[in-house]
Chain A
Amino acid sequence: MVEVQNLSKRYGRVTAVDDISFRVERGEIFGFLGPNGAGKTTTMRILTGYIPATEGKAVVAGFDVFDQPVEAKRRTGYLPETPPLYPDMTVAEYLTFVAKVKGVPSAERRERIHHVMERTRVSDMAGRACGKLSKGYRQRVGLAQALIHNPDVLILDEPTAGLDPKQIIETRQLIKELAGDHTIILSTHILPEVEQTCQRVVIINKGRVVAIDTPSNLTARLRGSETMYVQVDAGDLDAAPVLSRLPGVTRVVESDRRDALVGYEVESERGRDIRRDLARAVVTNGWGLLELRPTRMSLEDIFLSLTTEETPTPAVPAGEPVHA
């Protein structure tokens, strides 16, 4: 449904998108994951025909976005980072205008507007000026706007940014519901969002594709080891050597220190639960065990591990004292 080949975008000497290629199949939810400034928005803008690419090719719904922009745009719905609303128009007026410019035939217009307002749950705000809507409603009207011409491909730039938790859940639910009829590309920098909604993910960093895979594969690939966070009150002593000698522990890193309270990140072999051993070791030494919890693989960690793959940071061998 969407095919991107060797896409690059340069601004003078700055390269925003660097030789990106991927394919999205019909009905799929495809996630763009990356930190701010990674090139997600730029790629999406190229796909929607808002800006041209410097090099490469992008085909949306069978039409090249550069050679046949109008045909491609007719089949694309786009929600930019800030919903493009006209503050003076009411929601109904706005959607009518969008329906007109997106080429919805006048006979179907009323019905389509009604349908998308129901779908995105903005019907109760139909008469309200767009400029007076709350952030959540703006986002939903933006989504309604993207859906109005029933496009094959939906491109959503951070659809949940700035929403409250309840709205985030609703929006994700809505996106999942839409997936059957539409092919969806969405960008985010929140990892759980990708895990919950997307079938496949591309991770972009500094304009380059770092990885393309399913969320579960990605996390599995990255979780070569398991990490525990443990906070210990060991007085003047250093707990790291003791912790490193525990069976199954591969690496101990001091992560924070406040007076006598020291926090360690303890990595262990995969699939081995070292919590009991850890707790016992701390307690038998007569130290205070203040906190013990598994650390989640955060997006930052994924990035660090994916982007520093070529030059891995030297792991501290078990058994030696560690000073982070």
Chain B
Amino acid sequence: MRNVLAIAHKELKSYFSSPIAYILLGFWALVYGYFFVVMMNFFVRQSMQMNQFMQGPASLNVNQQLIRPVLQNVTILALFLMPMITMRTYAEEKRSGTIELLLTSPLTDLQIILGKFLGALAMYALMLAVSLIHIALLFYFGRPEWKPIIVAYFGLLLFGGCFLSVGLFISSLTKNQIVAGIVTFVVFLLLWIISWIGSFSGPTIDSLTQYLSIIEHFEDFNKGVLDTSHVIYYLSVITLGLFLTAKAVDSERWRA
């Protein structure tokens, strides 16, 4: 575990010693802030209209009418920014030869992979933390329910973990981080839009693609429903991604 944390710490630090962390956090804050402001305006206008028609106190639910759509958009934002978190993890180490240091250190492959995954997850968690600032403002001015928010963020973390583990795997396949980034983005996109095909196919394919689409599983979290089947789905995808990474690293060793 100490080894895992040492790698995770190094990974997290490496985001901040290059411009990547600042670009990620900056863009995240900017676009998330934009979403938030736009939705907030819309929400305020709707509330006012409701007020006028009903002549009573605002009855719009902040959780349902504001936080939920905002967090739904966060998943799309993540889709674009997440490849930047994982694209360099393995590719850069392979290109610069530092992978030789890691693989000849008294570490197991699993420790290295888990360390890298946790480092990436910590980076993503920091991005999520930035978005919590806006949510905190809602608590200052209103009274949103905090439990659904917790569940939704837990879902976001798991959802991001899936992308990160898949991204880690793709990064372990190449020496070129640009290639890793582009492939990761395309794969994420496919995992997101795969459910579209189901809408005009038969019910079997529909339910299958719904199940495969990583974003579909977030819906329930976003409603504040903690369904173990979704938790297990996300954990399975994360495990699969990490397993594939381990296999890729191991097979690379035999071919290298």
Contacts and interface: CB of A to CB of B under 8 A. Distances in A.
Contact of B96 (A73, A87, A101): A87
B98 A85 contact: yes
Interface stretch (A49-57, A117-125, A283-291, A292-300): A49-57
Interface string A63-84: 0000000110110101010101
A89 B17 contact: yes
B106 interface: yes
Contacts of A100: 2-3, 6
A101 B107 contact: yes
Most B C-beta atoms less than 10 A away, residue of A78, A80, A86: A86
A100 B255 CA distance: 29
Q: How large is the interface on A (under 10, 10 to 19, 20 to 34, 35 or more residues)?
A: 20 to 34
Q: How large is the interface on B (under 10, 10 to 19, 20 to 34, 35 or more residues)?
A: 20 to 34
A145 interface: yes
Task: Determine the main DSSP class of B at the interface with A.
Answer: helix
B200 interface: no
B256 interface: yes
Interface string A93-123: 1000110111100000000000000000000
A48 interface: yes
B254 A50 contact: no
B100 A84 contact: yes
B106 A88 contact: no
Contacts of B1: none
Interface string B1-27: 011001100100110011000000000
B101 A48 contact: no
B96 A70 contact: no
Nearest to B101: A84
B97 A70 contact: no
A130 to B, nearest CB: 10
Contacts of B14: 86, 88-89
Contact of B98 (A45, A52, A71, A84): A84
B253 to A, nearest CB: 6
B106 A103 contact: yes
Interface string B90-115: 00000011111111111110000000
A70 B108 contact: yes
Contact of A49 (B3, B97, B98, B104): B104
Contacts of B2: 100
A97 B10 contact: yes
Interface in B104-160: 104-108
Contact of B104 (A73, A85, A93, A103): A73
B98 A101 contact: no
Nearest to A72: B106
Nearest to A99: B6
Contacts of A82: 97
Nearest to B252: A51
Contacts of A87: 96
A252 B238 CA distance: 73
A64 to B, nearest CB: 14
A73 B106 contact: yes
Contacts of B101: 80, 84, 98, 101, 145
Contacts of A11: 255
A160 to B, nearest CB: 18
A52 B98 CA distance: 18
Contacts of B255: 11
B193 to A, nearest CB: 36
A49 B6 contact: no
A70 B107 CA distance: 6
A100 B9 CA distance: 11
Nearest to B111: A101
A102 B254 contact: no
Contacts of A88: 14, 17-18
B64 to A, nearest CB: 44
A85 B95 CA distance: 12
A66 B107 CA distance: 14
A45 B255 CA distance: 13
A102 B253 contact: no
B74 to A, nearest CB: 29
A100 to B, nearest CB: 4
Given A89-B17, A101-B7, A73 B105 contact: yes
A49 B106 CA distance: 10
Interface of B: 2-3, 6-7, 10, 13-14, 17-18, 96-108, 253-256
> What are the 8 A-B residue pairs with the smallest beta carbon separation, nearest first?
A84-B101, A88-B17, A100-B6, A74-B106, A73-B106, A48-B104, A84-B98, A101-B105
Given A74-B106, A101-B7, 20 more contacts: A11-B255, A45-B100, A49-B104, A50-B100, A50-B104, A70-B106, A73-B105, A78-B100, A80-B101, A82-B97, A84-B96, A84-B99, A97-B6, A97-B10, A98-B101, A100-B6, A101-B3, A101-B6, A103-B3, A103-B106
